[in-house]
A = this chain, B = another copy of it.
Amino acid sequence: MVLTNTDDKLEQVAVNTIRFLAVDAVEKAKSGHPGMPSGAADYAYVLWTKYLKFNPAVPDWQDRDRFILSAGHGSMLLYALLHLSGYDMPMEQLMNFRQWESATPGHPERLLSSGIEVTTGPLGQGFGNGVGMAIAGKMLAARFNRPGYDVVDHQVYAIVSDGDLMEGVSHEAASLAGHLGLGNIVYIYDDNHISIEGDTELAYSDDVEERFEGYGWHVQRINGHDRKAADEAIAAARAEDRRPSLIIARTHIGYGAPHKQDTKEAHGEPLGPEEVEAMKRNLGWPLEPAFYVPDEVYALFAERRRLLQERYERWVEMFESYRREYPEGAKLWDDMMARKVPEDITDKLLAVIDAKAEAATRDSGGQVMQEIARHVPSFCGGSADLAPSTKTLLKDYGDIEKDHFSGRNFHFGVREHGMGTICTGLALNGGFIPFGATFLIFSDYMRPTLRLASMQHAQVIYVFTHDSVFLGEDGPTHQPIEHLASIRAIPGVTLIRPADAAETAVAWAVALQNQDGPTAIALTRQKVPRIERQNPESVRDLAKGAYVVSDPEGGTIDVILIATGSEVHLAVGAAAMLKEKGIGARVVSFPSHSLFERQPAEYKDRILPPRVSNRVTIEAASPMSWYRYAGPHGLIIGLERFGASAPYKTIAKELGFTPEAVAERVLRYLEGREAEVGSAER
């Protein structure tokens, strides 16, 4: 699909339009990155006007190509292309670059209505998100395409930088993309030899071609300013459908700026008025006005848009026909795109859990997930080489493998960070509710992806098992301490730490219903007793973040014991011992801070009555997040040290996490002999 009514001179004008929109916007904002857009404009122009499939009038068209600017600092390149291509990205937004509440922030922020697919900036993330989107494309094609009906037939394009390729996450994602043979990936590496500190040779001498061939990619090298070469390379990359493609495009940062081209000064700051003027003269561009777009350039992009509109209409026509011929397929399509979950999912999940007296919540989670898979076609995911430990294999479904994308189970390998970026890509693509599983300790390896999933309101579910020192013998390198608090601190991430099988079922239901952002579920390695609730139905109030497990007979509450996860049964046990001493203890299960904070004050006060100032929180983890609930006169039983390698019952005893030890500390506290405490060793 090549435009016919343009000539090389007009193309050059169009490319320079992109360059100077970027340069002028950075100049006006007095902040930004002019060099990358100037350098990338040639091949980006070719990609956007000859290959990229989209419809600005229907920006969420499911079969559009995905374009990711992984080198997010070059955001003005994207904004300029969106503006010219006819998206909801008016000139005033370009002029408002990097200003409060503009659609044109310093780094692209997902805004699908304007054509911005992915929030990028932290390097390497977009690279991995694209791999997730490419897998999503393959999975949807495997489910829906029929002879004569390629309803899913699009590519994932990205522009990546040397920084993206230096970041470790690009290794993880690229390795898996090669392994899976993702022929629907076309990435262009903007090889401009300049990073912030100067020439990339300061720190970087990878043979990128050899490295990516080692991953099983198809690799080409071009002069990134040679539009014909770019055209041919993209065509070849698209034709390659068994391997992901990398096009190494040698470019010159700040192309055309007479004194700053090929220097780090062109990277991350305005060129300055003199250099802008010199650059405009050099490239034969009118000095005034700034933000100049020649009419013929608008016309050129409008013609492209017309062709794309026709293409879109053909797809709509095909899909209508598909809907008639394959009504069940169309129904499944609608359900998946809506990420539909049965309304009675909580009941369904509560019905499948074992009634065993003891079970590890990771095992309960595994049971629940089998049931989810049966009812939620969007549900898929996998583990970072820990499925037998995280219990997350969907037993009735196949694996995602090269040439086989109809399954639901991913084998991410020992690649937590890659897993995170891929899950986000799956979620942003549409159609899927992905989960990614590993040990809670390794959430540290993938934190940037939790944050970005939250910023983008992506529905990703993280399954973090082995959620405390009670994982035992593997020792302190594998035992989380600060991780629950650290995840709770990320805005928009819902962390849930269920106490038993029933809470695990409800936690999963909440995660499925939380379409607006990521949910992390923390689960035990060790067995925990089933919690006996005075009102068995109260477990459903997990959705409110905290609820009362039991109140003392007679109703006088001397102290509130607040606990999460595997520590709830300690609170229950301690309450029974306190009862024998004539002390009335309320036990509150508190699986989620963020869910609790969304409740009205009335509910919060009902669970934690302000008049009861004797409060004890029990969580075998950093106490940081508990000061908020323990209150001024509270006792926080937590850990401010690293764990230890030993059988978990030994650890529990040595660190004071038994019902007896908790009861003893509560007694001392009520007698005024102990104020707030956390072991201070490490």
A residues in contact (CB < 8 Å) with B: 29, 31-32, 72, 98-102, 105-107, 109, 119-124, 162-163, 166-172, 175-176, 178-179, 195-197, 200, 202-211, 213-216, 264, 383, 385-389, 399, 411-418, 441-442, 444-445, 447-448, 451-452, 454-455, 472-478, 481-482, 485-486, 488-492, 597, 622, 624-625, 627-628, 631-632, 640-642, 644-647, 650-651, 654, 680, 682
Give the number of copies in the complex: 2
Contacts A106-B478, A211-B215 given; does A167 touch B448 at CB 8 Å: no
Q: Are B417 and A168 in contact (CB under 8 A)?
A: yes
A171 to B, closest residue via Cβ: B171
Q: Are B203 and A207 in contact (CB under 8 A)?
A: no
Which of A214, A642, A647 has most chain B Cβ within 10 Å? A214
Q: Are B166 and A178 in contact (CB under 8 A)?
A: no
CB neighbours of A640 from chain B (8 A): 491
Q: Are A172 and B166 in contact (CB under 8 A)?
A: yes
Cα A225 to Cα B207 with chains together (Å) = 32
Cα A492 to Cα B482 with chains together (Å) = 11
Contacts A415-B167, A491-B641 given; does A206 touch B195 at CB 8 Å: no
Q: Are B101 and A166 in contact (CB under 8 A)?
A: no
Cα A418 to Cα B644 with chains together (Å) = 26
Contacts A478-B106, A644-B101 given; does A195 touch B414 at CB 8 Å: yes
Cα A441 to Cα B175 with chains together (Å) = 26
Q: Are A172 and B178 in contact (CB under 8 A)?
A: no
Contacts A447-B444, A448-B445, A454-B682 given; does A473 touch B31 at CB 8 Å: yes
Q: Are A444 and B448 in contact (CB under 8 A)?
A: yes
Q: Are B166 and A415 in contact (CB under 8 A)?
A: yes
A634 to B, closest residue via Cβ: B632
Which of A32, A98, A102, A475 has most chain B Cβ within 10 Å? A475
Contacts A122-B441, A204-B413, A472-B31 given; does A107 touch B168 at CB 8 Å: no
28 inter-chain pairs at a CB distance below 8 angstroms, sorted by A residue, are A98-B473, A99-B646, A100-B644, A100-B651, A100-B654, A106-B475, A109-B477, A119-B477, A120-B477, A121-B478, A122-B478, A163-B385, A166-B175, A170-B171, A195-B413, A196-B387, A196-B388, A203-B413, A207-B213, A210-B213, A213-B214, A447-B447, A454-B682, A485-B485, A486-B489, A491-B641, A624-B625, A627-B627
Using A72-B477, A107-B474, A168-B172 as known contacts, list a sample of 10 further A-B pairs with CB atoms less than 8 Å apart, ordered by residue number in A: A32-B473, A106-B475, A107-B478, A166-B172, A168-B417, A196-B387, A203-B413, A482-B489, A485-B486, A489-B624
Which of A170, A387, A642 has most chain B Cβ within 10 Å? A642
A644 to B, closest residue via Cβ: B100
A455 to B, closest residue via Cβ: B642
CB neighbours of A215 from chain B (8 A): 206-207, 211
Contacts A109-B476, A478-B107 given; does A383 touch B645 at CB 8 Å: no
Cα A40 to Cα B101 with chains together (Å) = 58
A457 to B, closest residue via Cβ: B682
CB neighbours of A121 from chain B (8 A): 474-475, 477-478
Minimum C-beta distance from A409 to chain B (A)? 10
Q: Are A216 and B205 in contact (CB under 8 A)?
A: yes
Q: Are B102 and A645 in contact (CB under 8 A)?
A: yes
Minimum C-beta distance from A92 to chain B (A)? 16
Q: Are A412 and B167 in contact (CB under 8 A)?
A: no
Minimum C-beta distance from A617 to chain B (A)? 12
CB neighbours of A414 from chain B (8 A): 123, 162-163, 166-167, 195
Minimum C-beta distance from A168 to chain B (A)? 2
Minimum C-beta distance from A652 to chain B (A)? 11
Q: Are A412 and B203 in contact (CB under 8 A)?
A: yes
A598 to B, closest residue via Cβ: B680
Set B101, B203, B490: member contacting A482, Cβ < 8 A: B490
CB neighbours of A109 from chain B (8 A): 475-477, 645
Q: Are B411 and A203 in contact (CB under 8 A)?
A: yes
A211 to B, closest residue via Cβ: B214
Q: Are B203 and A214 in contact (CB under 8 A)?
A: no
CB neighbours of A476 from chain B (8 A): 105, 109, 455
What are the 7 closest A-B residue pairs judged by CB atoms, nearest first? A168-B168, A105-B645, A203-B413, A171-B171, A210-B214, A121-B477, A211-B214
Contacts A107-B475, A122-B441 given; does A168 touch B166 at CB 8 Å: no
Cα A441 to Cα B121 with chains together (Å) = 11
CB neighbours of A102 from chain B (8 A): 645
A387 to B, closest residue via Cβ: B197
Set B207, B478, B680: member contacting A214, Cβ < 8 A: B207
Q: Are A445 and B167 in contact (CB under 8 A)?
A: yes
A178 to B, closest residue via Cβ: B205
CB neighbours of A169 from chain B (8 A): 168
Q: Are A386 and B196 in contact (CB under 8 A)?
A: yes
Contacts A477-B122, A645-B105 given; does A197 touch B31 at CB 8 Å: no
Contacts A107-B645, A179-B203 given; does A481 touch B491 at CB 8 Å: yes
Contacts A72-B477, A195-B414 given; does A644 touch B105 at CB 8 Å: yes
Q: Are A106 and B645 in contact (CB under 8 A)?
A: yes
CB neighbours of A206 from chain B (8 A): 175, 178-179, 214-216
Cα A650 to Cα B214 with chains together (Å) = 48
Minimum C-beta distance from A72 to chain B (A)? 7
Cα A491 to Cα B106 with chains together (Å) = 35
A486 to B, closest residue via Cβ: B486
Cα A167 to Cα B169 with chains together (Å) = 8
Minimum C-beta distance from A422 to chain B (A)? 12
Minimum C-beta distance from A604 to chain B (A)? 12
CB neighbours of A412 from chain B (8 A): 203
CB neighbours of A106 from chain B (8 A): 473-475, 477-478, 645
A625 to B, closest residue via Cβ: B624
